[in-house]
């Protein structure tokens, strides 16, 4: 997979924004990242964000747009980055 960095070091705006707003600063120790592969983690991350939107937004146009925005996110990139940061942290301990 070719990774072109088009927005603040991320594939695109959607990926950067979801990382910034949802995952940046989360405690990675709670994620069991050593037990998940990148594909599983990407699926979990996508489901997690979808649940946040569904719980926070009332049904309607704004919620539909928020959920549609998720289709532009590079979930594999987010998962790989989170896993790499987690594993790097384990090496530094």
Residue 4 in domain:
no
Give pLDDT, residue 93: 43
Give pLDDT, residue 79: 94
Does position 50 have pLDDT exceeding 90, yes or no?
yes
**Considering its fold, how many domains does the chain have in total?**
1
Residue 5 in domain:
no
Q: How many other β-carbons are positioned within 10 Å of the β-carbon of residue 88? A: 9
Residue 65 in domain:
yes
User: What is the average pLDDT across 23-37?
Assistant: 78
Distance of CA 71 to the CA centre of its chain: 12
| Segments forming the whole domain that contains residue 59 | 13-92
Closest among 31, 34, 23 to 77, alpha carbons compared: 23
Residue range 2-19, pLDDT digits in tens: 555 689 999 999 999 999
Give pLDDT, residue 2: 57
Closest among 92, 91, 86, 88 to 35, alpha carbons compared: 86
Residue range 54-83, pLDDT digits in tens: 999 999 999 999 999 999 999 999 999 998
Closest among 27, 20, 24 to 89, alpha carbons compared: 27
Give pLDDT, residue 4: 57
């Amino acid at each position: 997979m070719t990774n072109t960095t088009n927005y603040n070091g991320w594939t695109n705006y959607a990926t950067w924004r979801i990382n910034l707003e949802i995952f940046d600063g989360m405690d990675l120790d709670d994620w069991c990242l050593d037990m998940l592969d990148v594909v599983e983690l990407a699926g979990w991350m996508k489901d997690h964000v979808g649940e946040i939107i569904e719980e926070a937004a009332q049904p309607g146009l704004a919620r539909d747009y928020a959920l549609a925005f998720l289709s532009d996110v590079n979930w594999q990139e987010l998962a790989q980055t989170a896993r790499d940061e987690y594993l790097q942290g384990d090496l530094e301990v």
